[in-house]
Structure 1
Amino acid sequence: MTAFSERVEAISISGIREVFEAAGEDAINLGIGQPDFPTPEHARQAAIDAIEAGDADGYTSNFGTQSLREAIADKHARDDDLDLAPNQIIATAGGSEALHLALEAHVDQGEEVLIPDPGFVSYDALTKLAGGTPVPLPLRDDLTLDPATVEAAITEDTAAFVVNSPANPTGAVQSVADMREFARIADEHDVLLISDEVYERIVFEGEHRSPMEFAESDNVVIVNAASKAYSMTGWRLGWVAGSERRIERMLRVHQYVQACASAPAQYAAEAALSGPQDRVEEMVAAFEERRDVLLDGLTDMGLDVPTPRGAFYAMPAVPEGWVDAVIERDVVVVPGRAFGEHGEGYARISYAASLDEIETALEAMRSATRAVQ
């Protein structure tokens, strides 16, 4: 019998799927990580126009279209004060592929990658698929990653560390001072900083600043996507940005696993980035309103929840049995352990749902809380 690779045997199907399967068909889904808004109409129309004109029929450059990469570079100049050239950017099949490229190109067998815990589920799995060893780092009480914790964990085997702000699953936003420190650590210890900035536009308090802005070396790579800011999760369009030498190595992987990102999605993302931004602002305002309703409800039932300052997740500390009790009441939430060992005793709640759904879900959570206390 043909054996499976040790890399694949070391990972498993995400535990989040088990939660979805345990809930009823009519359950309120507060477990899914995607906006509940439509893709902006001008982005949709750009893809339709490209298809009808025949512009999306063939491969694009492995890098992605020149015009999309120029739009991404303009976005980073506008939002992040970064001076990136189009040849420092690869359009990818979502932020997930961008993360995969960064790890595959920079991590050798057995090398360590420091990841936040609790953190996005792909950090652990993609590190293992790259042959690396994930090293989980506990978070502060406010669920941010402490630069001192990162620096103390660096060894001669450390290849990279991951910073995610605003963060999934916590909604935490790192301070500007933290981002400066992360950049310093990457410079002084000569390790790669993979900055996951997929939620950068969804900030309620504080501000997003990319650590690339503060780095003196080329030891920062940015992972980003149109998925969350423009409600384009299904389009699968992301990008990775870095120095030319790092992009060239990542392109070696990308050209064989993907060739190029979907052409229609590239045209849609270009329009999303270059066109009106009012829909993004409206979506962020709606998420903030929903956050406040959810936080008030969770606090009123006695749960301790750090205030999420971005993204669209809250991560309260919950009593044992709480998640199961909520799911039994047809509301999907995700147990914190799905995001790492330090997530035990927490739950991730997505407020990418209507206010009516959130209010109904809170009633179920109140009932569940009374049942397990």
Structure 2
Amino acid sequence: MTAKRLQNITESTTLRISNLASELKSQGKDIISFSLGEPDFTTPGHIIDAAKASLDRGETHYTPSPGIPELRRAIAEKLKKENNIDAQAGSIIVTPGAKQAIFEVMLSVLDEGDEAILFDPAWVSYEPCVKLAGAKAVWAPTARDDGFRPVEPGEYITEKTRLIVVNSPCNPTGGVYSKETLKEIADLAVDNNIMVLSDEIYEKIIYDREHISIGSMDGMQGLTITVNGFSKAYAMTGWRLGYVSAPKKIYEQMLKLHSHSVSQATSFVQYAGVAALIGDQICIADMVREFKTRRDLLIRGLNELGIRCTSPDGAFYAFADVSEYGNGEEVAELLLNRASVAATPGSAFGSAGNDFIRISYATSQERIKEALQRIEAIL
């Protein structure tokens, strides 16, 4: 009685672990949650004020399906100024979160039997979106001892390859791709006429490295679909606001899907997005500075416990090798049941993560210290 297309799709592991942690909390247990990729900061005040002002103006009705003109223009200007991408407001769709944008991209680019290359490990929702489009995810390896850099991605291109997914900074590893790595992928895309989906949701959360957009590289203007959003950089996860900039032909197909499904992003949230982009950006610098302090505290603590973990260059995740104590599934279960610490098994992100757990350090320094003490007591 259910559709076949969903029978091989599993629920999001990160959300499942988060829901389980919330359930245990409701039972009175003191759970330290390292599972969900959600900044624990409050959305900056000027963004909240913009949403309130929009409500007060009565802007609670339908907007144009691709988004209000003010926000699309602000996004285009941001992409030109910060990412060196010649984006046009007329090729931008504002979506209810970046995840919706990725879903729409997959269904607009991939057909039954097509292939999309994912770099292992990769964010949990890429493969389900590929499958829902009727396509196949091809997992290409990365170098775990070299920032999880893609290794020989050209070896995985076939006549069926239609899309390469790039996520830098990366969830779950925190890896940031170098200019050389991005150029290698760009050259493959140009030579083989393959589209690239560049998921740049963590671009602002980066430490001592430079973020480079693959869409800014030679020959990539017509081959790159850039997805971004407001959840991570502006602590706006619950607001559900993202966007996509795509070549005109793909934009037109995406807009069909967008208008027949979600219709639009929430009206007053879009006005908050304008305030986020054009307002003072010091709020991001403050958050990144705190994330870096937390990262250093966590990575040092894990390695002192004998858990191998390299220092991530971006995002707010530690991808920790727990193979000395079991596989990632076993250790994640042990930590939750015995230490009341919720982490995500690395296997959720691909087979390369079997010996890992992903730890989100989007929580306070005090809770990180306590979690390390609990982990030490168990392991």
Report if TM-score (shorter chain) is over 0.5: yes
> Aligned equivalents of 1:174 and 1:164: distance in 2?
9
1:82 paired residue number: 85
User: What code does the residue aligned with 1:12 have?
Assistant: T
Q: CA deviation at 1:149?
A: 2.9
Pairing 1:306–2:304 present: no
The alignment-based identity, stated in percent, is 37
- Conservation of the 8 A alpha-carbon contact between 1:183 and 1:220: no
> Aligned equivalents of 2:128 and 2:54: distance in 1?
35
- Conservation of the 8 A alpha-carbon contact between 2:148 and 2:173: no
Change (3 A) 1:251 1:33: same
2:17 paired residue number: 19
Change (3 A) 1:62 1:159: same
Change (3 A) 1:145 1:106: farther
- Conservation of the 8 A alpha-carbon contact between 1:203 and 1:311: yes
- Conservation of the 8 A alpha-carbon contact between 1:187 and 1:215: no
- The one of 359, 369, 376 aligned to 1:349: 359
> Aligned equivalents of 2:249 and 2:46: distance in 1?
35
Change (3 A) 1:255 1:212: same
2:189 paired residue number: 186
- Conservation of the 8 A alpha-carbon contact between 1:143 and 1:306: no
- Conservation of the 8 A alpha-carbon contact between 1:115 and 1:136: yes
| Helix, strand or coil at the partner of 2:35 | coil
Encode CA deviations 1:279-332: one digit per residue, 9 max, x unaligned.
100000000000000011011111111210000000010020432222121111
CA RMSD in angstroms comes to 1.4
> Aligned equivalents of 1:98 and 1:191: distance in 2?
19
| Helix, strand or coil at the partner of 2:314 | coil
> Aligned equivalents of 1:75 and 1:21: distance in 2?
35
- Conservation of the 8 A alpha-carbon contact between 1:76 and 1:82: yes
Aligned length: 366
Residues 120-131 of structure 1 aligned to structure 2 (within 5 Å): 120-131=123-134
- The one of 268, 271, 276 aligned to 2:275: 271
| Helix, strand or coil at the partner of 2:125 | helix
TM-score normalised by length of structure 2: 0.93
> Aligned equivalents of 2:314 and 2:50: distance in 1?
29
> Aligned equivalents of 2:215 and 2:148: distance in 1?
17
1:60 paired residue number: 63
Q: CA deviation at 1:12?
A: 1.3
| Helix, strand or coil at the partner of 1:259 | coil
Residues 31-110 of structure 1 aligned to structure 2 (within 5 Å): 31-54=35-58, 56-110=59-113
> Aligned equivalents of 1:16 and 1:165: distance in 2?
19
> Aligned equivalents of 1:143 and 1:124: distance in 2?
24
Encode CA deviations 1:244-283: one digit per residue, 9 max, x unaligned.
2221121111111111111111111110011000110000
Pairing 1:291–2:289 present: no
> Aligned equivalents of 1:291 and 1:358: distance in 2?
10
> Aligned equivalents of 2:142 and 2:299: distance in 1?
20
Pairing 1:262–2:266 present: yes
1:366 paired residue number: 376
Q: CA deviation at 1:193?
A: 0.6
1:324 paired residue number: 333
| Helix, strand or coil at the partner of 2:228 | strand
Q: CA deviation at 1:144?
A: 4.5
| Helix, strand or coil at the partner of 1:325 | helix
| Helix, strand or coil at the partner of 2:117 | strand
TM-score normalised by length of structure 1: 0.95
